[in-house]
Structure 1
């Protein structure tokens, strides 16, 4: 199918599909007239890309994992493993962000990014007050 028809079916712009082709996420062949021609399964793959992005996967992760999934005998098992790994990454990021939030909260009202609340004017976060 040509790029315009593909774009209409998946609700993406032609430019998005061209970009995905450029970075290797989709592949089409060129017709003698220069038009791109994509196989029908590209529709499903582009829907997968959109869903994976909505679930927090980067295009690099999608490309890397897409290759693995195509080789996986049971796609459901492969996807579950990817989701579990993504959950671990998200949990680690939540822990980091919680610590960052707590650190920022101690600095509110100090007027200085180097001083936590309650520290004397000359002290920085790593120093103890006398």
Structure 2
């Protein structure tokens, strides 16, 4: 399928598809006249990529995980492991943000960004 067809099927722009190809997330072959020709399974793969991005996975993670998933005998089990690991990362980040929020809240009203409320300056 040509890039315009793939763009129409996935709702992505041609530039996005070209970018994904450039960074190695997607492969095409060239026809005799130089047009990109994408396999039919590229549609499902690009839907996966967009969903994974929505779930907070970076393009690097998607590329790595895509390789792991392609080699997995039990895709559901492999996805579960990926999601559980991402949950751990999100939980750790939430804890960091909660600590940052508490530190900022302690400094409210101090008039000085270097001194927290109740602490000697």
Give the TM-score taking structure 2 as reference length.
Answer: 0.97
Q: Name the SS of the counterpart of 1:7 in structure 2.
A: helix
Q: Determine the structure 2 residue equivalent to 1:99.
A: 99
**Number of matched pairs:** 121
1:45-64 mapped onto 2 (5 Å cutoff): 45-64=45-64
**Distance in 1 of aligned mates of 2:33 and 2:71:** 34
**Distance in 1 of aligned mates of 2:111 and 2:26:** 51
Q: Determine the structure 2 residue equivalent to 1:5.
A: 5
Q: Determine the structure 2 residue equivalent to 1:44.
A: 44
Is there any run of 5+ residues in structure 1 with no aligned partner, and where? 124-130
**Distance in 2 of aligned mates of 1:111 and 1:56:** 37
Q: Quote the offset at 1:113 in angstroms.
A: 1.6
**Distance in 1 of aligned mates of 2:11 and 2:30:** 22
Give the TM-score taking structure 1 as reference length.
Answer: 0.90
RMSD over aligned CA atoms reads 0.8
Q: Quote the offset at 1:109 in angstroms.
A: 1.6
The structure whose RCO (Cα within 8 Å, separation 6+) is larger is 2
Extract structure 1 runs of 4+ deviating beyond 3 A: none
Q: Quote the offset at 1:110 in angstroms.
A: 1.7
**How far does the alpha carbon of each residue in 1:1-33 deviate from its partner, in whole angstroms, 9 at most, with x for none?**
000000000000000000000000000011111
Q: Determine the structure 2 residue equivalent to 1:79.
A: 79
CA radius of gyration, larger in: 1
Q: Quote the offset at 1:119 in angstroms.
A: 3.7
Is there any run of 5+ residues in structure 2 with no aligned partner, and where? none
Q: Determine the structure 2 residue equivalent to 1:16.
A: 16
